[in-house]
Amino acid sequence: MNAELLGVIVMFVATLLLAYPLGRYIARVYSGDKVWTDAILNPVERLFFRVARINPAEEMTWQRSLTALLTINLIWFLWAMFCLTNQNWLPLNPDHVAAQTPDLAFNTAISFLVNCNLQDYSGETGASYFTQVFGLMFLQFVSAGTGMAAAAIVFNALKERTTNKLGNFYNYFLKSCTRILVPICLAVAVLHIYNGTPMTMKGAEQVITMQGDTMHVSRGPVAAFVAIKHVGTNGGGFYGANSAHPLENPDYFTNIVQMVAQILLPFAMVFAMGFYLRKKKLAWVFWCVMTIGFLMLVVPAVVAEVGGNPAIAKMGIAQPGGNMEGKEVRFASYATAFWSIATTVISTGSVNGMHDSFMPVSGMNMMLGMMINSFYGGVGVGFLNFFIYVILAVFIGGLMVGRTPEFLGKKIEAKEMKIAMIIALFHPFLILVFTSIASYLAAHDTQMGWWFADAAGKHNASGWLNNPTYHGFSEMLYQYTSCSANNGSGFEGLADNNPFWNITAGIVLLFSRYLPIIGPVAIAGIMAQKKFIPESGGTLKTDTGTFGLLVFAVKIIIAALAFFPALALGPIAEWFTK
pLDDT digit string (tens) for 53-103?
999 999 999 999 999 999 999 999 999 999 999 999 999 999 999 999 999
User: Is residue 495 very low, low, confident or very high in pLDDT (cuts 50, 70, 90)?
Assistant: confident
Residue 389: name the closest of 365, 410, 412, 358 by CA. 412
Assess contact for 344 and 487: CB atoms under 8 A.
yes
What local confidence, expressed as pLDDT, does residue 458 receive?
54
Residue among 431, 385, 158 nearest 293 (CA): 385
Q: Directed axis angle between helix 222-231 and helix 182-193, to 10°?
A: 130
Could you give the CA distance from residue 427 to residue 433 in angstroms, rounded to a whole number? 10
Tell me the average pLDDT across 150-157: 96
Per DSSP, the chain holds a count of helices (H) and strands (E) of 21, 4
- Distance (Å, whole) CA 138 – CA 140: 5
pTM: 0.94
Averaged pLDDT for residues 484-492: 90
Q: What whole-number distance in Å separates Cα of residue 442 and Cα of residue 502?
A: 16
Q: What is the pLDDT of residue 461?
A: 66
Cβ neighbour number for residue 106 with a 10 Å cutoff: 22
**Residue 295: is its pLDDT beyond 90?**
yes
Q: What's the mean pLDDT in 36-52?
A: 93
Instruction: Work out the pLDDT band at 453, boundaries 50, 70, 90.
Output: low
The radius of gyration of the chain's CA atoms, rounded to the nearest angstrom, is 23
